A and B are shown apart, each in its own frame.
Chain A
């Protein structure tokens, strides 16, 4: 037995503080959890659109991959289909936007028989290298935009559009 004995009053005080603390914690914890919930949400994957193109089938030759998402225009919701030119650079997936930087036509890979390794815009004969670099002397003034892209369970998933990071 130690020298400072616990009095009945002290014992009651300790027990009540302890039990009260647990009860308060039991009430506060869920409240805190609800309050901070928005920052704990996982954002990853939310903005990526899964396509039906298998990653294994992608080669170094760009292929057109279509993807659809819903777009709300004022009160009118419509399903919009966009496409991307996807190819592999080593093991890395690359997706380029098909929208010509001149006036917004759709560019095609190898659309011009004289330049089979370039993107070609049929409107005003704009051309781009495989990495999206615009070719000097043709109308476009900038490189093709790039999509964020990743491998999601073996299929290509396409995310947000951004400025070209390859050139």
Chain B
């Protein structure tokens, strides 16, 4: 489900079934040199999470991307997010990111780091097959997590 008013109504009624939160972590680089690749990574991450949401609509709540400046203190973001999510009933929380720095943060579990693929110049059907390929790499990680702790 998306983080939309209407879908949250549904979520609140179905909390036993929707037990997984997915949080995209999105670094912003506004320098002239880095802007293009930062935007490309954002496009990639949001396409991927949208596709993931379509596949698992009834089990995951996709939060809007957490965007932060590239100098941001990842450790602090991690702590604050964890604190906020403590109020929810989610059994599983996944973080998806293209930002390699998250790999050094140990306090977050289930951070899926994916190297961004520049999809902006691909035509529709090729882009679709690439994204579905990417999705196929991520799906087993979800299935594994769910089968372990459910």
Instruction: Please give the residue numbers on chain A whose beta carbons come within 8 Å of chain B beta carbons, in ascending order.
Output: 66, 68, 79, 81, 100, 102-106, 121-124, 139
A68 to B58, CA, bound (A): 23
For A123, what are the chain B residues with a Cβ–Cβ distance below 8 Å?
17, 56-59
Contacts of A105 in B (CB 8 A): 55-59
Give the distance to chain B from A40, nearest Cβ to Cβ, in Å. Answer: 36
Chain B contributes a number of interface residues (CB within 8 A of A) equal to 15
**Cross-chain contact A106 with B17 (CB below 8 angstroms):** no
| Alpha-carbon distance A139/B139, docked complex (angstroms) | 21
Known contacts A122-B143, A124-B17: A104-B57 contact under CB 8 Å? yes
Residues 47-59 of chain B: 1 if any A CB is under 8 Å from the residue's CB, otherwise 0? 0000000111111
23 examples of A-B residue contacts, CB within 8 angstroms: A66-B128, A79-B124, A102-B58, A103-B10, A103-B14, A103-B17, A103-B18, A103-B58, A103-B59, A104-B57, A104-B58, A105-B56, A105-B57, A106-B54, A106-B56, A121-B58, A122-B55, A122-B56, A122-B143, A123-B58, A124-B17, A124-B58, A124-B59
Contacts of B54 in A (CB 8 A): 106
With A122-B143, A124-B17 given, is the CB distance from A103 to B124 under 8 Å?
no
**B124 touching A106 by the CB < 8 A rule?**
no
Chain B nearest Cβ from A142, distance in angstroms: 14
